[in-house]
Amino acid sequence: MLARRRRQQLEQTKKVIYEGKLYRPLTEEQIRMIDDASMHIFEEIGVCVKYAPAREYWKKAGALVNDETGVCKIGREIVRDCIKKAPGNFTQYGRIDKHNVEQAAFRFYGGTSCEAVSIWDIETGEHRPPNIYDLSAGTRLCDALDNCDLIQSCCYPSELSKELPDINRYFAMIKNTTKHICTGPYRPESVDKIYKMANMVLGREDAFRERPFISLVCGVISPLIMDAGWTETLVRGVELGFPICSPSAPTCGATCPGTLAAQLVLCNVEALMSIVTIQLMKPGHPCFYSAVPMMLDHRDGSFTYATPEAWMQNCAVNQISQWYDIPNYSICGMCDSKVMDMQLGIEMGMGIIMGAMSGSNNMHGSFGLLEGGLTVALENFVVADEVVSMAKRVLRGIEVDEERIALDVFKEVGIGGIFLDQEITRKYSRTEIYYSKLSDRHNFAVWDAAGRPDYAAKAREQAIAIIKSHKPELELDKEVEAAIRAEFPEILPDAGKTMFEK
């Protein structure tokens, strides 16, 4: 009751929409070839659907199903029909409307990615396993930063039991944000629990179906396997109304032939096989075209996220999703660097701008992790917020109109004149230009006199200040929280607190 009333009181504003149509790595012909090759794979090789209940849907639709091996071969007409049924736009709800993400082709949205197993301690600089306070702080920070739209669990709290980590993770996140949570559980059994908890948060049974403020991220095993556990999660998630991301994540040369083209074909088949499953189950259910192509460094077998190929591939994924008109889930902005150094800066800058320009709808990794997703530095979120802002400025573009061309001002001020004190300069001084909170543009003397401020140190200071001072717009009612904790006794006493609230 209380929660609903408070929700109605909050101001209704909407997110500004930025569209990225500027970078299109593939030609129409290339996309057709990838699409055609994918259909051949569906028809001639098939995919392995390990979870029997999911296979039933394929069977019913007319696929050739081998229940012993799990392999399903399906005709392209059925695949194309499912592509058509997958909605081209849908809403990923926040707990308040102003955080709603209205998904549609080309729209640039992003956020954190899952899920680091190490953290650079924000106060001591120590490299250590993360804890529940770190997850809460990271979520809180993302709630505060304007350019984080969708929040994944940024780190795995190492004190959680291996058997029951999920409820703690979601609870800690719900306590710290009213934005859309887009993250997956470790166990299929958790889906029902998350649904129950979400309804308790919203104040009414089945309220979640009207305001699904959580998307589930599942996964597949390359090449061509829909894993049992993840598919069970996916199926249950669809039944309960969660939007689904089920990313294909092949490594080029390991789980697909070692070419970019082949990797895109595999990404396509695997992205579509989840979509087929979902649309056969429930036509029109919101789901993403999800693929996270990764590269290998063949010199030593390292996984790499931040390479030109990886960026291009993820942008190609986005482009193909636009061809099918299904919102995309991909990665750009994730870094291979272990620390916040020059390498990180380059990786974030290039990845984020390319992803934005290609219309990345769910760019998990724009609020990047380090070490290919294994390490998190919370202060990096503040940096990411800036880089994403700059990318959005590029997407906003250059406005050319009579007023801005300002011929009359040229005439008035004339040859050799100054325009700094002209009204038109002042009028647009705040909007034509993006103002950085972190980049230092002073001359040496000023910078030197200020103590040679260090970029990462500034980011850290800002991050700590935000974590300490920011509160999400909705706080859980005490009774609601007590009821949730009673229902799920595995929730740690401090779940939801940042390290400064211990």
Partner 1 sequence: MSCETIENIMEAVLDGATSEIIPLIDKALEEKHSASEILKDGLIAGMNEVGALFKEGEMFVPEVLISAKTMQKGMERIKPLLVSGDIETVGKVITVTVEGDLHDIGIKLVGMMLEGAGFEVRNIGVDVPASAIVEAVKAETPDILAMSAMLTTTMGNMKEVVDLLKESGLDERLKVMIGGAPTTPDYARKIGAFYGADASDAVKVAREIIRK
Nearer to partner 1, 407 or 433 (CB): 433
Closest residue by Cα to residue 250 from 307, 313, 306, 312: 313
Contact between 415 and partner 1 per CB under 8 A:
no
Contact between 389 and partner 1 per CB under 8 A:
no
Nearer to partner 1, 251 or 425 (CB): 425
Residue 441: CB minimum distance to partner 1, A: 11
Closest residue by Cα to residue 152 from 102, 214, 206: 214
Residue 438: CB minimum distance to partner 1, A: 13
Contact between 16 and partner 1 per CB under 8 A:
no
Nearer to partner 1, 415 or 445 (CB): 445
Nearer to partner 1, 411 or 441 (CB): 441
Residue 429: CB minimum distance to partner 1, A: 5
Residue 436: CB minimum distance to partner 1, A: 11
State the first-to-last Cα distance of the chain, in angstroms, to the nearest integer. Answer: 30
| Residue indicated by tokens 């929730």 | 491
Q: Which stretch binds partner 1 (CB under 8 A): 129-137, 156-164, 421-429, 467-475?
A: 421-429
Token pair in block for residue 411: 């005439």
Q: Which of 259, 302, 429, 469 binds partner 1 (CB under 8 A)?
A: 429
Nearer to partner 1, 56 or 461 (CB): 461
| Residue ranges in 449-468 that form contacts with partner 1 under rule CB under 8 A | 449
Nearer to partner 1, 451 or 493 (CB): 451
Tell me the C-alpha distance between 302 and 307, whole Å. Answer: 12
Q: In 3-89, at which residue ranges do the beta strands (DSSP E only) sit? A: 47-49, 64-65, 71-73
Spatial contact of 328 and 316, defined as CB atoms under 8 Å apart: no
Contact between 423 and partner 1 per CB under 8 A:
yes
Q: Which stretch binds partner 1 (CB under 8 A): 29-37, 183-191, 388-396, 437-445?
A: 437-445
Q: What are phi and psi of 84, to 5 degrees?
A: -65, -35
Q: Which of 199, 251, 389, 422 binds partner 1 (CB under 8 A)?
A: 422
Q: Which of 45, 346, 446, 457 binds partner 1 (CB under 8 A)?
A: 446
Tell me the C-alpha distance between 158 and 12, whole Å. Answer: 38
- List of long-range contacts for 59-62, beta carbons under 8 Å, 24+ apart: 60/280, 61/280
Q: Which stretch binds partner 1 (CB under 8 A): 145-153, 190-198, 203-211, 417-425?
A: 417-425
Q: Which of 4, 40, 426, 471 binds partner 1 (CB under 8 A)?
A: 426
DSSP string of 401-439? -HHHH-HHHHHHH-TT---TTSHHHHHHTTTSS---SS-
Tell me the C-alpha distance between 388 and 61, whole Å. Answer: 42
Q: Which of 411, 430, 478, 502 binds partner 1 (CB under 8 A)?
A: 430
Q: Which of 415, 441, 443, 478 binds partner 1 (CB under 8 A)?
A: 443
The sheet that has 71-73: what strands, in order across it?
Answer: 64-65, 71-73, 47-49, 225-226
206: left (phi over 0), alpha (psi -120 to 50) or beta: left
Contact between 418 and partner 1 per CB under 8 A:
yes
Contact between 421 and partner 1 per CB under 8 A:
yes
Contact between 11 and partner 1 per CB under 8 A:
no
Residue 461: CB minimum distance to partner 1, A: 16
- Please count the other Cβ atoms lying within 10 Å of the Cβ belonging to residue 78: 17
Residue 384: CB minimum distance to partner 1, A: 22
Q: Which stretch binds partner 1 (CB under 8 A): 42-50, 123-131, 134-142, 444-452?
A: 444-452
Q: Which stretch binds partner 1 (CB under 8 A): 287-295, 336-344, 354-362, 414-422?
A: 414-422
Contact between 9 and partner 1 per CB under 8 A:
no
Tell me the C-alpha distance between 445 and 434, whole Å. Answer: 24
Contact between 439 and partner 1 per CB under 8 A:
no
Contact between 400 and partner 1 per CB under 8 A:
no
Q: What separation in angstroms does the CA of 420 have from each of 144, 410, 415, 427?
A: 35, 12, 14, 11
Count of residues touching partner 1 (by CB under 8 A) = 15
Judged on CB neighbours under 10 Å (0-12, 13-18, 19+), 408 is exposed
Residue type for position 183: T
Tell me the C-alpha distance between 321 and 145, whole Å. Answer: 28
Residue 404: CB minimum distance to partner 1, A: 15
Tell me the C-alpha distance between 291 and 313, whole Å. Answer: 9
3-state SS assignment for residue 91: strand
Interface with partner 1 (CB under 8 A): 418, 420-423, 425-426, 429-430, 442-446, 449
